[in-house]
Amino acid sequence: MSEVLVLIEHSEGNIKKVSLELLAMAAGIGEPSAVFVGPGADAAIATLGDHGAKTVYVADGQAFLDHVVVPTVDVLAKLVAEKSPAAVLIPSSADGKEIAGRLAVAIDSGVITDAVAVSADVVATQNVFGGATIVHSRVSKGTPVITVRTNSIAPVQSGGSATRVDVAAEVSAAAGATKVVNRVSVQKSGRPDLSEAAIVVSGGRGVGSDEGFASVIEPLADSLGAAVGASRAATDAGWYPHQFQVGQTGKTVSPQLYVANGISGAIQHRAGMQTSKTVVVVNKDADAPIFDLADFGVVGDLHSVVPDLTARVNARK
Amino acid sequence: MKICVCVKQVPDSWAEKKLTASDSTLDRAAADRVVNELDEYAVEEALRIVEAGEGEVTILSMGPDEAADSVRKAISMGAHAGIHISDPALHGSDALATSLVLAKALEGRGFDLIMFGSESTDARMSVVPAMVSARLGLPQMTFANKVEVSGSNLTIHRVTDYGYDEVQSSLPAVVSVVEKTNEPRYPSFKNIMAAKKAPMETLSLADIGLDAATVGLANAWSEVKDFAERPAKAKGTVITDEGNGAEKIEEFLVTQKFI
Q: A131 touching B, CB under 8 A?
A: yes
What's chain A's average pLDDT? 95
d(CA A92, CA A229) in angstroms, rounded, equals: 19
pLDDT tens digit string along B226-239?
999 988 888 899 99
Q: List beta partners, residue A199.
A: A257
CATH topology of domain A199-315: Rossmann fold (3.40.50)
Cβ contacts (< 8 Å) between B159 and chain A: which residues? 94, 243
pLDDT at A266 over 80: yes
pTM here is 0.91
Task: Scan residues 142-171 of A and list those with Cβ closer than 8 Å to B.
Answer: 142
Q: DSSP assignment of A171-187, as one string?
A: --HHHHT-EEEEEEEPP
Q: List beta partners, residue B141.
A: B175
Domain ranges of chain A: 3-176, 199-315
Task: Scan residues 28-87 of A and list those with Cβ closer than 8 Å to B.
Answer: 68-70, 73
Task: Say which of B137, B233, B239 has its CB closest to residue A298.
Answer: B239
Q: B12 touching A, CB under 8 A?
A: no
Task: Say which of A136, A292, A300 has its CB closest to residue B245.
Answer: A300
In order of start, what are the domains of chain B with their CATH numbers? 2-219 (3.40.50.620)
State yes or no: cis peptide before B172, omega within 30 of 0.
yes
What's chain B's average pLDDT? 95
pLDDT tens digit string along B59-94?
999 999 999 999 999 999 999 999 999 999 999 999
- The secondary structure of chain B, three-state, reads CEEEEECCEEECCCCCCCECCCCCCECCCCCCEEECHHHHHHHHHHHHHHHHCCCEEEEEEECCCCHHHHHHHHHCCCCCEEEEECCHHHCCCCHHHHHHHHHHHHCCCCCCEEEEECCCCCCCCCCHHHHHHHHHCCCEEEEEEEEEEECCEEEEEEECCCEEEEEEEECCEEEEECCCCCCCCCCCHHHHHHHHHCCEEEECCHHHCCCHHHCCHHHCCEEEEEEEECCCCCCCEEEECCCCHHHHHHHHHHHCCCC
The structural architecture, per CATH, of the domain A3-176 is 3-Layer(aba) Sandwich (3.40)
pLDDT at B50 over 90: yes
In contact, B181 and B49? CB cutoff 8 Å: no
pLDDT at B240 over 90: yes
Q: Do B252 and A313 touch (CB under 8 A)?
A: no
By percentage, how much of chain B surpasses pLDDT 70? 100
Q: A4 touching B, CB under 8 A?
A: no
Compare all CA atoms of chain B with the CA of A287 and give the residue at the minimum distance: B238
Q: List beta partners, residue A4.
A: A32, A87
Rounded alpha-carbon distances, angstroms, from residue A277 to A151, A192, A257, B43: 10, 18, 6, 38
pLDDT tens digit string along A61-86?
889 999 999 999 999 999 999 999 99
Task: Scan residues 73-112 of B and list those with Cβ closer than 8 Å to A.
Answer: 94-96, 99
The residue count of chain B comes to 259
**A313 or B20, higher pLDDT:** A313
Q: How many CA within 13 A on the CB side of residue B231?
A: 3
Evaluate whether A3-176 and A199-315 have a shared fold.
yes
